[in-house]
DNA sequence: TAGCACATGTAACTCGTTACATGATTTG
DNA sequence: CAAATCATGTAACGAGTTACATGTGCTA
């Protein structure tokens, strides 16, 4: 039977290096969590399924806690399955964005009362962008060569990061436009035309 | 009890005008489907729940088929609930993007074999952008005033559309960079430097 | 006359979240 | 010594997809 998308996420992480279920769960918060996340309650059963399909194996390493600490690594078969999946075109995923859904109904509320909700979103994008930029600086100084070699894990991580950077910047610019539109439509007295601080 | 996100999507559509469950399902494919979608098997039970909570009501209109045709509309209470929800900051949704997850593992495959998967994605973004641009032209020619008035449904629809346009353009630019990176890393003989056609 | 658009519902299943459960080691 | 981190698992629930089910009116 074929792995789920989460299974491929785990295979992708294990292809870089062996990890415990706990370490995999952490990676599924960040950096992989930026585009695919899961909680530990999903990870452990999925690891068991991958092992049953002989795509990963584990060995017991010593560690704390009441249970064994299991370190997983990908098998040759798992590595092949992963590479095959990675080059298969992704079928279009259903888009779901609760923020945009709120925007779609924003006309039902007073524009002044709608502003904070957009501003909150904007500041979250600003924070995320700062996070990405710091990771980028780290990456560039750390492995200058690796990030330009498509056969290296660092290249793939850098590629996803670049997409994140670009996405956050465009999202911030959109928020600025939206804030102007909401504020600019006011009767009169207050028209604080913002010139997009933080977007450059 | 509070509506689900789908419930708010339905309220948002009914706030524009009364519709049948079938019409709501269609809207949840496009244009609302661009950021929130659902199938009819989800819509009908949710409408029943909204009605039980007195946020919508229905009346029977005549139509074909073995069952009654029900036209739903939003109640005053439903309208208030919707406006309240729309201005409440959205809590950050977990991001899930299978394409980016594939990109993260692309280093495990041969760069040449990875190209078609990126090119497929690119052409899907191109198609989506063309779709959005046609809707934009339609909107601008149709209701020039409405799209600039934040109290009008057309403004909200236009706002979500602008986000889509910006997103698709940045996604295409990223695909172009990715294709260059994968192709440019080839041993020698074939280096077809593309100059981003379609992105302007 | 065959297929499609209209129109509404239920059932089975999968995926993901939240909560329950346990316990050792390190740090303040 | 209290709290956080490391470490692994199960159970109950909710949201979403796919398949099952029915039947009319219009068009090619």
Residue with tokens 């609930």: B81
Please tell me the predicted confidence (pLDDT) of residue B62.
85
Please tell me the predicted confidence (pLDDT) of residue A143.
84
- Closest residue in A to B128 (Cα–Cα): A92
The pLDDT of B157-186, averaged and rounded, is 95
3-class SS at B151?
coil
Q: Which of B28, B101, B181, B185 to mutate to test the interface with A (most CBs of A within 10 A)?
A: B101
Strand D and B69 CB separated by under 7 Å = no
Q: Whole-angstrom Cα distance, residue B48 to residue B75? A: 14
Categorize the per-residue pLDDT at A26 as very low, low, confident or very high, splitting at 50, 70 and 90. Answer: very high
Whole-structure pTM value: 0.93
Please tell me the predicted confidence (pLDDT) of residue B200.
39
Q: Whole-angstrom Cα distance, residue A60 to residue A188? A: 70
Residue B191 confidence (pLDDT) above 60:
no
3-class SS at B132?
helix
Count CA atoms within 13 Å of residue A19 on its CB side.
20
Tokens at B157, concatenated: 């629809």
Question: Is the Cβ pair A155, B181 closer than 8 Å?
Answer: yes
CB B118 within 8 A of CB B177: no
Angle subtended at Cα B62 by Cα B59 and Cα B63, rounded to the nearest 5 degrees: 120
CB A143 within 8 A of CB B91: no
Please tell me the predicted confidence (pLDDT) of residue A67.
79
- Spell out the SS3 assignment of chain A: CCCCHHHHHHHHHHHHCCEEHHHHHHHCCCCHHHCCCCCHHHHHHHHHHHHHCCCEEEEEECCCCCCCEEEEEECHHHHHHHHHHHCCCCCCCCCCCHHHHHHHCHHHCCHHHHHHHHHHHHHHHHHHHHHHHHHHHHHHHHCCCHHHCCCCHHHHHHHHHHHHHHHHHHHHHHHHHHHHHHHHCCCCCCCCCCCCCCCC
Reported as a single tens digit per residue, the pLDDT across A118-140 is 999 999 999 999 999 999 999 99
Residue A196 confidence (pLDDT) above 80:
no
Residue B198 confidence (pLDDT) above 50:
no
Residue-wise burial string across A10-39, b where 16 or more C-beta atoms lie within 10 A, e elsewhere: bbbbbbbebbbbebbbebbeebbbbbbbbe
Reported as a single tens digit per residue, the pLDDT across B94-148 is 999 999 999 999 999 999 999 999 999 999 999 999 999 999 999 999 888 999 9
Angle subtended at Cα A82 by Cα A78 and Cα A86, rounded to the nearest 5 degrees: 175
Residue A97 confidence (pLDDT) above 50:
yes
Nearest to A12 by CA among A179, A175, A157, A181: A157
3-class SS at B73?
strand
Reported as a single tens digit per residue, the pLDDT across A63-72 is 776 778 999 9
Residue B199 confidence (pLDDT) above 50:
no
- Closest residue in B to A147 (Cα–Cα): B181
Where residue A196 falls (left for φ over 0; alpha for ψ -120 to 50; beta otherwise) is left
- Pick from A101-105, A195-199, B45-49, B170-174: least confident: A195-199
CB A8 within 8 A of CB A38: no
Question: Is the Cβ pair B104, A157 closer than 8 Å?
Answer: yes
- Taking every pair of Cα atoms in chain B, the longest distance, rounded to a whole number of angstroms, is 70
Which nucleotides of strand D lie under 7 Å from a protein CB? 6-12, 14-20, 22-25
More confident: A185 or A26 = A26
Contacts of B185 in chain A (CB under 8 A): 148-150
DSSP B192: -
Whole-number distance in Å between B65 CA and C4 C1': 14
Which residues, other chains included, contact A96 with Cβ-Cβ below 8 Å and sequence gap of 6+? B35, B36, B37, B93
Please tell me the predicted confidence (pLDDT) of residue A66.
72
Residue A200 confidence (pLDDT) above 50:
no
User: What percent of chain A has pLDDT above 90?
Assistant: 86
Which residues, other chains included, contact A137 with Cβ-Cβ below 8 Å and sequence gap of 6+? none
Cα separations in angstroms, A19 against A22, B49, B145, B166: 8, 45, 58, 38
What's the gap in Å between the CA of B66 and the closest CA on chain A? 31
Please tell me the predicted confidence (pLDDT) of residue A187.
56
Q: Whole-angstrom Cα distance, residue B97 to residue A93? A: 7
Please tell me the predicted confidence (pLDDT) of residue B185.
63
The pLDDT of A174-199, averaged and rounded, is 69
Residue A191 confidence (pLDDT) above 70:
no
Please tell me the predicted confidence (pLDDT) of residue A198.
44
Strand D and A40 CB separated by under 7 Å = yes
Please tell me the predicted confidence (pLDDT) of residue B186.
60
Neighbours of A5 (CB within 10 A): 16
Please tell me the predicted confidence (pLDDT) of residue A119.
98
The pLDDT of A36-44, averaged and rounded, is 98
More confident: A47 or B185 = A47
The pLDDT of A20-43, averaged and rounded, is 97
The pLDDT of A152-178, averaged and rounded, is 98
The pLDDT of B20-42, averaged and rounded, is 97
Q: Whole-angstrom Cα distance, residue B170 to residue B162? A: 12
Reported as a single tens digit per residue, the pLDDT across B40-99 is 999 999 999 999 999 999 999 987 777 889 999 999 999 999 999 999 999 999 999 999
Q: Whole-angstrom Cα distance, residue B77 to residue B183? A: 58
Tokens at A65, concatenated: 């806690």
């Amino acid at each position: 039977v074929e792995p789920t998308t989460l299974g491929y996420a785990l295979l992708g992480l294990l292809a870089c290096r062996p990890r415990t279920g706990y370490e995999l769960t952490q990676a599924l918060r960040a950096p992989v969590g930026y585009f695919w996340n899961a909680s530990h309650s999903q990870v452990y059963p999925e690891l068991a399924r991958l092992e049953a399909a002989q795509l990963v194996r584990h060995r017991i390493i010593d560690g704390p806690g009441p249970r064994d600490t299991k370190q997983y690594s990908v098998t040759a078969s798992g590595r092949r399955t992963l590479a095959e999946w990675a080059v298969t075109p992704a079928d279009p995923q259903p888009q779901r964005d609760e923020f945009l859904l709120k925007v779609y109904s924003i006309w039902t509320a007073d524009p002044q009362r709608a502003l904070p909700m957009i501003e909150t979103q904007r500041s979250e994008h600003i924070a995320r962008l700062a996070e990405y930029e710091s990771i980028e600086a780290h990456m560039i100084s750390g492995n200058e060569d690796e990030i330009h070699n498509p056969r290296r894990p660092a290249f793939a991580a850098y590629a996803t990061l670049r997409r994140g950077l670009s996405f956050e910047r465009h999202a911030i610019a959109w928020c600025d436009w939206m804030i102007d539109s909401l504020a600019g439509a006011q009767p009169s007295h207050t028209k604080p035309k913002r010139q997009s601080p933080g977007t450059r």
